[in-house]
Amino acid sequence: MIRMVCSLLLVLGVLCHPALASDDDVTIRPLVDGVWLHTSGHTFDDGTHYTANGLIIRDGDHLVLIDSAWGDAKTAMLLDEIQSAIGLPVHMAVATHSHEDRAAGANVMKARGIRYYASATTRALIAERGGAAPEYMLDLPAEAGATVKFGPAEILYPGTAHTADNLIVWFGAQNLLFGGCAVREASSQSLGYFKEGDPATWGGAMRLAKAAYSDAQIVVPGHGEVGDISLLDHTAALAAAHMAQVSSEKP
């Protein structure tokens, strides 16, 4: 089932994130003018259900997609719903790291004529797993602080955090920062999965992003509720708490 949710729910100026009804759901809803939040769900083998966030940005007569839906099938569903609900073509997309909730649907994108981009590191990681990687490569060095323009956005590599390849996307016209999975939602009490990242450098990545985009008013995490720039401080604090715990456990 695909639902188009068109109401803006603001609490203290921050958009709330409703739970998806089922694993099959893909939702699209307006975030700010010319920007839509897309959300898709996935249920793991242990029965745990998660949702993932991405963005759709209007760029003139076209759309730019930030991250796929969760998996190839849902990415196809998302693209169908974008055409039905928004009525503009997606002309390019970017994956913000190599996991299935960000970088799925490479063959779907290619079949529909969408230029799908990822960093060299992300493309290599997907290829190592035997997956289909985005066809096009971002001209973005794997150096913390490196940036590249991408349509109406700027993409930043903040350094290793959730993963070694996680990217952050800035939309200056809207003062909107897409943190992806490098940024944890406000209700998170831990860093979550980081086996392909590094908690020791995660806090520094958040401080770099905050310094670069201090004007951010809306911050979209990879999972959960949309918030504001305090999510960067919250994530850095979680990283610091994790490292303190690790240090206290050392003999």
pLDDT (tens, 9 = 90+) of the chain, 251 residues, equals: 334 333 333 222 333 333 344 456 899 999 999 999 999 998 888 888 889 999 999 999 999 999 999 999 999 999 999 999 999 999 999 999 999 999 999 999 999 999 999 999 999 999 999 999 999 999 999 999 999 999 999 999 999 999 999 999 999 999 999 999 999 999 999 999 999 999 999 999 999 999 999 999 999 999 999 999 999 999 999 999 999 999 888 77
Query: Which tokens belong to 72?
Result: 């190839």
Of 114, 101, 10, the closest CA to residue 62 belongs to 114
Query: Which tokens belong to 88?
Result: 């503009």
Strands of the sheet containing 218-221, edge to edge, are 146-150, 153-157, 168-171, 176-180, 218-221
Residue 50 confidence (pLDDT): 86
Residue 16 confidence (pLDDT): 36
Residue 24 confidence (pLDDT): 61
Q: Do residues 138 and 103 lie in contact, with contact meaning Cβ atoms separated by under 8 Å? A: no
Q: Which residue has tokens 């990242």?
A: 197
CATH number of 2-249: 3.60.15.10
Write the CA distances from 105 to 8, 69, 70, 122, 240, integer angstroms: 28, 8, 9, 14, 35
Of 251, 142, 144, 154, the closest CA to residue 203 belongs to 144
> Which pTM value belongs to this model?
0.90
Residue 49 confidence (pLDDT): 85
Chain-centroid distance, C-alpha 187: 17
Alpha-carbon distance of 109 to 90, in angstroms, equals 9
Residue 138 confidence (pLDDT): 98
Of 138, 41, 40, the closest CA to residue 92 belongs to 138
Break the chain into its structural domains and give their ranges: 2-249
3-class DSSP state of 179: strand
Residue 47 confidence (pLDDT): 82
Q: Where are the beta strands (DSSP E) in the chain?
A: 2-4, 10-11, 14-15, 26-32, 35-43, 49-59, 62-66, 90-94, 115-118, 136-137, 146-150, 153-157, 168-171, 176-180, 218-221
Q: Per-residue pLDDT tens for 199-216?
A: 999 999 999 999 999 999
Residue 20 confidence (pLDDT): 42
Residue 160 confidence (pLDDT): 98
Of 38, 34, 54, the closest CA to residue 5 belongs to 38
Q: Do residues 205 and 197 lie in contact, with contact meaning Cβ atoms separated by under 8 Å? A: no
